[in-house]
Amino acid sequence: MKNDPMSRHCPIVYAMDRIGGKWKMPLIWLIHQYPGVRYGQIRKAYAGITNTVLTRALQELEQDGLIRRVDFEEVPPRVEYHLTGKGKAAVPAVLAITDWGREQMEADGKRPLLAVIEEEK
């Protein structure tokens, strides 16, 4: 976070430091919709994200206390992602932005596409 007063004291800047960027809100939404989602399922749902970017976004969400990574220490590796209390508290904001985005897409004649990963659960 920057050191200027706006960055240090603005709730919007503070929130966006945690959930902003291209992939963090979609990840929060996906983990909310599919608790226990696995890394491969996330990659399949969001095919446009690279491994590096996905790993970094998940690590940042975990460091900020929004998600919990559960490693089952199995071979082959099995890891699941869950929202924490902080992450669940962010869901209403993410859903509000989702609704706004859906309205804008429809107004622009675009069809929203939601990832479906349930067949792998």
- Total-model pTM: 0.83
Q: Flag the least confident range among 2-6, 27-31, 76-80, 96-100.
A: 2-6
3-state secondary structure of 20: coil
Average pLDDT, rounded, for the chain:
88
pLDDT for position 106: 86
Beta-carbon count within 10 A of 77 CB: 10
98 or 61, greater pLDDT: 61
pLDDT for position 120: 46
Query: Domains in the chain and their CATH numbers?
Result: 5-120 (1.10.10.10)
Whether the bond between 92 and the residue before it is cis, its omega within 30 degrees of 0, is no
Beta-carbon count within 10 A of 96 CB: 10
Structure tokens at 82: 């869950």
Q: Please name the residues in contact with 105: beta carbons below 8 A apart, sequence gap of 6 or more.
A: 111, 112
Q: How confident is the model at residue 2 (pLDDT cuts 50, 70, 90)?
A: low
